Chains A and B, each alone.
Chain A
C-alpha cells in the first residue's frame, strides 16, 4: 500500500471518472475529502484531504495553564471524551509526580470503559447503517443514551464531559450514578447479544463486510495503526495491557484479536471489547466498595482545584484556586510521553515542560489521524460501496483527525 497521486499524465483519463467522496457525503462527517479515480465502480486511486476543521489545539494548549487545557482534550474524540480527558490528566499527573488513590483509579476505569462502550456502540451501529441496517443503530442508541445519563450524573454534561481534574474528579459519583451504572450493567449485555444476533450471522451483513478491506498485521504495523483495527489484524497491542495505567494491571480482562483484519473482524473485535469493558466495570464496582466512599481526588491542594464553597470561605482554598487558575503553580522542567488506550487506538500526550505557566510544547498523538492515512491506499481496487463501509469500520472521529 502506497499513497498514489490521484492521476498521472499517462493514465487514460477519458476512461476514468473523478469522484469527490466527501466532504459532504453522509459517511464522511463533513470533513474528509477523498478525490477518487474510478474505473466504473472500482477505485483506481485516491487522495485524502483533511484539515477542514483544524482548530490549532496544540498552539492553543501552549498558551494555557495545564488546568485550562482540559476542555480542549474533551473535543478530540467527542464520542468518548472521558478517555481523552483522563488521558490528559494521567499525563499531567505523571509529569507532576502525583499518585492518585485507588478509588480514583477505579472511578476512572468505570468512566473510561463506559466511554469505550459508547464509542463502539456508535461505530458498530453506523457500520450497520452503512450496510443498510438501521435497526441495530436505533436499538443501541438507547444504551448510549443510558451512558450519557451516567455522564450527566457524574459531571453535569453529556458530550464534552470535562469530568476529570488533576488528581482525580471534580466531584464524587453519587448514589444515583452508581445505580445507573449497575442498571446499565444489568440491561446492556442482553441488548448487545441481540445486536450481535442481528448482524453476526446476517447473510447481507457478512457479504458486505467479510473479506472487505483486509489488512495484514505487517501492513497495519507499518501504518502505525493502533486500537481495534490493529487488533483485528491479529496484533494484540493494547495499551491497557501492555503499559497499564489506572491500576488496570489489577484487573482481569482479555484483549480480543481478529485473524483476517477485514471489516467484519473489526466489527467483531469491537463487540468483544464491549464485553470486556463490562467485565472491567463490574470488577471496578466490586473493588470500589472496599474503599473509602469519600475519596475522589488525591490530596494535592496545589494542583487540585478546590470546591467553590471552600473558595468563598477559606483563605487557603482561595489562594490555591487563584494560583491554579492563573497557572502560577510550580511545575517541573521535564518532558513526558504518556498514552492511554482510546476507543480507536493509542492516544498519546507528549508534553515538554519548561516550568512555566503552560507546557512549552504539547503534542497529541491522535489515533484517528494516524489510522486514516491508510484509507486512500487501501481503497485502491475496491468497489465504491466497499470504500464507504471501510471508512465506517476505521472509526475516524473528525475532531480528533483534524485537531
Chain B
C-alpha cells in the first residue's frame, strides 16, 4: 500500500496547480487527473522533484482517440509511479483534433523517447521538442495513424481476398 493517500496527493496538486488540475477520478484506486497542454511538463516536473512525492518512475505514455468528444478528441495519458511512496498517478491531457501538439517529456525521462514515438506512430500526436519523432513500429511512408478510430480493422468476413482469387 502507498505511504501517502490519494487525498493528500490531490491536495498538494490542487495547492500547486489549482484550476489546472481538473476532472479528478479514482478508478480502481488510481488517482486520475486532467491537466492542460501548457501545464503538463510543469506538473510532471513538479511530481518528479517534489521531495515528499518523488514520482521519478515513468511507467507509461499512450493516447486514446475519442472522435465523438468535440474539442477533446485526443487524450494523451501518462502513468507515473513514485517508488518511494509506492503510489501511482494517471495524468491526462485532452487535445483538439486539429491541434495535437504537446511538449515532450523526454526533458524529464530518457524513457519517454520511444513511448512518445509509439504514440506518434499510432495516433499522430506531435510531441514538440522531441529530438527524433519518427514512426517506430509502422513503415516510414505510412500516411495514416492507424490506432485512430476512423481506421477500423478490415472486415474478417470479406471474401474478395481469398487465395483462389490470386491463383493460390
Interface residues of A (CB under 8 A from B): 1-3, 5, 50-51, 54, 56, 58-60, 62-63, 94-95, 219, 221-225, 235, 237, 242-243, 334-337, 339, 346, 348, 350, 352, 360-361, 363, 365, 369-370, 372-374, 377, 402-403
Q: Which residues of B contact A221 (CB under 8 A)?
A: 56-57, 83
Q: Which residues of B contact A59 (CB under 8 A)?
A: 146-147, 153
* A-B contact list, 24 entries, CB within 8 Å: A2-B131, A3-B113, A5-B132, A51-B136, A59-B146, A62-B153, A224-B112, A242-B83, A335-B27, A337-B59, A337-B60, A337-B79, A337-B88, A348-B60, A350-B60, A350-B62, A361-B64, A363-B62, A369-B114, A370-B111, A370-B114, A373-B110, A373-B111, A373-B114
Q: Judge whether B59 and A346 touch: CB under 8 Å.
A: yes
For the complex formed, measure the closest distance between the CB of A64 and the CB atoms of chain B, giving whole angstroms: 10
Q: Judge whether B138 and A54 touch: CB under 8 Å.
A: yes
Q: Judge whether A3 and B88 touch: CB under 8 Å.
A: no
User: Given the complex of chains A and B, what is the CA–CA distance between A88 and B137 in angstroms?
Assistant: 22
The answer to whether residues A369 and B64 also contact, given A50-B137, A235-B83 and a CB cut-off of 8 A, is no
Partner of A363 from the list B60, B86, B146 (CB cut-off 8 Å) is B60
- B107-132 vs A, Cβ < 8 Å mask (1 yes, 0 no): 00111111100100010000000011
**Most chain B beta carbons < 10 A, residue from A63, A335, A352:** A335
Q: Judge whether A58 and B147 touch: CB under 8 Å.
A: yes
For the complex formed, measure the closest distance between the CB of A359 and the CB atoms of chain B, giving whole angstroms: 11
Q: Which residue of A lies closest to B115 (CB)?
A: A370
User: Given the complex of chains A and B, what is the CA–CA distance between A300 and B64 in angstroms?
Assistant: 30
The answer to whether residues A336 and B28 also contact, given A50-B137, A223-B111, A370-B115 and a CB cut-off of 8 A, is yes
Partner of B109 from the list A224, A235, A242, A402 (CB cut-off 8 Å) is A224
Q: Which residues of B contact A1 (CB under 8 A)?
A: 110
Partner of B27 from the list A54, A225, A242, A334 (CB cut-off 8 Å) is A334
Judged by a CB distance under 8 angstroms, whether B77 is at the interface is yes
Q: Which residue of B lies closest to A352 (CB)?
A: B64
Interface residues of B (CB under 8 A from A): 27-28, 30, 32, 56-60, 62, 64-65, 77, 79, 83, 86, 88, 90, 109-115, 118, 122, 131-132, 135-139, 146-147, 152-153
For the complex formed, measure the closest distance between the CB of A51 and the CB atoms of chain B, giving whole angstroms: 4
Q: Judge whether A3 and B131 touch: CB under 8 Å.
A: yes
Q: Judge whether A222 and B60 touch: CB under 8 Å.
A: no
Q: Which residues of A contact B32 (CB under 8 A)?
A: 335
Q: Judge whether A373 and B113 touch: CB under 8 Å.
A: yes
Q: Judge whether A334 and B28 touch: CB under 8 Å.
A: yes
Q: Judge whether A56 and B146 touch: CB under 8 Å.
A: yes
The answer to whether residues A224 and B58 also contact, given A50-B136, A369-B118 and a CB cut-off of 8 A, is yes
For the complex formed, measure the closest distance between the CB of A257 and the CB atoms of chain B, giving whole angstroms: 13
Q: Which residue of A lies closest to B112 (CB)?
A: A224
User: Given the complex of chains A and B, what is the CA–CA distance between A58 and B56 in angstroms?
Assistant: 27
Q: Judge whether B138 and A51 touch: CB under 8 Å.
A: yes
Q: Which residue of A lies closest to B86 (CB)?
A: A242
Partner of A374 from the list B27, B110, B118, B146 (CB cut-off 8 Å) is B110
Partner of A60 from the list B58, B77, B153 (CB cut-off 8 Å) is B153
Q: Which residues of B contact A222 (CB under 8 A)?
A: 109-111
For the complex formed, measure the closest distance between the CB of B72 and the CB atoms of chain A, giving whole angstroms: 14
Partner of A365 from the list B59, B65, B110, B153 (CB cut-off 8 Å) is B59
User: Given the complex of chains A and B, what is the CA–CA distance between A282 and B112 in angstroms?
Assistant: 39
Q: Which residue of B lies closest to A241 (CB)?
A: B86
User: Given the complex of chains A and B, what is the CA–CA distance between A221 and B112 in angstroms?
Assistant: 11
For the complex formed, measure the closest distance between the CB of B99 and the CB atoms of chain A, giving whole angstroms: 21
Q: Judge whether B153 and A224 touch: CB under 8 Å.
A: no
User: Given the complex of chains A and B, what is the CA–CA distance between A3 and B117 in angstroms?
Assistant: 13
For the complex formed, measure the closest distance between the CB of A184 and the CB atoms of chain B, giving whole angstroms: 33
User: Given the complex of chains A and B, what is the CA–CA distance between A292 and B11 in angstroms?
Assistant: 47
Q: Which residues of A contact B88 (CB under 8 A)?
A: 337
Q: Which residue of B lies closest to A360 (CB)?
A: B64
**Most chain B beta carbons < 10 A, residue from A1, A222, A225, A346:** A222
Q: Which residue of B lies closest to A55 (CB)?
A: B137
For the complex formed, measure the closest distance between the CB of A397 and the CB atoms of chain B, giving whole angstroms: 15
For the complex formed, measure the closest distance between the CB of A113 and the CB atoms of chain B, giving whole angstroms: 23
For the complex formed, measure the closest distance between the CB of B20 and the CB atoms of chain A, giving whole angstroms: 21
User: Given the complex of chains A and B, what is the CA–CA distance between A54 and B146 in angstroms?
Assistant: 12
Q: Which residues of B contact A360 (CB under 8 A)?
A: 64
For the complex formed, measure the closest distance between the CB of B124 and the CB atoms of chain A, giving whole angstroms: 15
Q: Which residues of B contact A219 (CB under 8 A)?
A: 110
Q: Which residue of B lies closest to A54 (CB)?
A: B137
Q: Judge whether B27 and A224 touch: CB under 8 Å.
A: no
Beyond A348-B60, A365-B59, A373-B113, 14 additional contacts (C-beta under 8 Å) are: A51-B137, A54-B138, A58-B122, A59-B147, A219-B110, A221-B56, A237-B83, A242-B83, A337-B88, A337-B90, A350-B60, A365-B60, A369-B114, A372-B114
